[in-house]
Amino acid sequence: MCSLHTCNMANWHPTMAGASTVMVIFIASIFFPAVGTLARASSGHSMSSPGCPDKCGDVSIPYPFGIGAHCAAISLNSYFNLDCDSTVDPPRPTVGDPNVAAEIADISLKNGEMHLYSPVNHICFTSNTTFTKFTTGYDLKRTPFLPSPPRNRFTVIGCNTLGLITGYKETAGQYVTGCYSNCEGINNTSEGAPCNGMGCCEVAIPTNLTSLEIKFEMTQSRVWSFNPCFYAMVAEVGWYTFRQQDLAGTLGFIDGRAKRGAAVVVDWAIRNGSCPEKGKDTPTDYACISTNSYCMAANNGPGYLCQCSGGYEGNPYLLTGCQG
């Protein structure tokens, strides 16, 4: 259960930050069976496991993902098991513990991508030295997911704040970068301006970033009277555009524009294997089981993806999934 100051997620083994640290979560740790009403495809070839729902609300759920363990490829990775939140209309698929679950907007088999909404990290001041913060953390080593470098940017919103993003790449060790956002007043910023350091800033992230921590390098603020809150997030390129109203009010940006979180694109793949070498036996857990399919290496991190051969369409992760 997350509190205002910390989010303890045991199965994720996060490294919790100190008093000035805010960490980003992309995916939580525990998956739960589906509840509520699930939509089924009414016609056409199913992309889901036989006998399983094709959709949660308006979002298609293609195998190896599934609603519930019996519908997901949990032998490949337990994080393919999703939940369907029926407490909202329409229902929304989620990944993670219900208390901190990330809402899924789309899953692409062809591109090996998932679009989701991630909580926005923030620190808010009520005086020049008194502040509250929201902190979460993640470790993606055991999951199929990695944040997509070309599709996302690390973004900081606020005046006179330095945001740092630190983490670890699987093979390259520790990684650190950041950006500084400056403004003397809200009227010194320009509506819709690019995030180049005046009111907001952004920086690229690397490939194979398996863990992530975000730090606000501040314990006091001299702009709290007109800009009480500062925000940091990894967000999809083009999703965020600067608005002066984002600087005003306590949690003004989250309440006004990011109630569902920040839009993020994550790359997914079959991480516990690689494409078979020619002339060698196919592994027993090989995921590209359709006759008319082939294997391609993941473009971010280890592992592989399956594709239907030319002239065929469908789901290469199902036995008869690719059809002409």
Predicted local distance difference test score (pLDDT) of residue 174: 85
Closest CA relative to residue 183, chosen from 132, 256, 242, 232: 242
CA atoms within 13 A on the CB side of 288: 22
The whole-number pLDDT of residue 98 equals: 67
Structure tokens at 303: 């592992």
190-205 burial: b if 16+ Cβ within 10 Å, else e: eeeeebeebbbbbeeb
pLDDT at position 20 is: 38
254: enclosing H helix or E strand = helix 252-257
How far apart, in whole angstroms, are the C-alpha atoms of residue 75 and residue 149?
28
Tens digit of pLDDT for each residue in 209-225? 999 888 888 889 999 99
> Is pLDDT above 90 for 227?
yes
> What values do phi and psi take at 76, rounded to 5?
-85, -40
Give the Å distances, CA to CA, from 33 to 30, 66, 92, 269: 10, 10, 14, 22
> Cis omega (within 30 of 0) on the bond before 64?
yes
Q: Which residue, chain included where needed, has tokens 């702009």? A: 223
**Two tokens at 299?**
């473009």
Q: For residues 63 and 253, what is the distance between their CA atoms, to the nearest angstrom?
A: 36
Three-class DSSP category at 103: strand
Helix H or strand E segment including 256: helix 252-257
> For residue range 150-185, what is the model confidence (pLDDT) as tens digits?
999 999 999 998 888 988 887 667 888 999 999 989
For the segment 55-68, what is each residue's pLDDT rounded down to a tens digit? 999 999 999 999 99
Write out pLDDT tens, residues 87-102.
999 999 999 776 767 8
Most confident of 18-32, 91-105, 245-259: 245-259
Q: How does the average pLDDT of the chain come out, rounded?
A: 85
pLDDT band at 134 (very low <50, low <70, confident <90, very high): confident
CA torsion sign for 257, 260, 262, 263 is negative
Would you call 81 exposed, middle or buried from its count of C-beta atoms within 10 A (0-12, 13-18, 19+)?
buried
The rounded distance, in Å, linking the Cα atoms of 8 and 157 is 25
CA angle (106 as vertex; 103, 107 as ends), nearest 5: 110
pLDDT (0 to 100) of residue 23: 37
Task: Report phi then psi at 22, rounded to 5.
Answer: -125, 130
One-character DSSP codes across 82-94: EEEETTSSS-EEE
Q: How far is 145 from 210, CA to CA, in rounded Å?
A: 8
Helix (H) or strand (E) holding 210: strand 209-216
- On the 0-12 / 13-18 / 19+ scale of CB atoms within 10 A, 260 is middle
For residue 251, the one-letter residue type is L
- Do 123 and 131 form a contact (C-beta atoms < 8 A)? yes
Is residue 241 pLDDT above 90, yes or no? yes
* Polymer length of the chain: 324
The two tokens of residue 144 are 């199929």
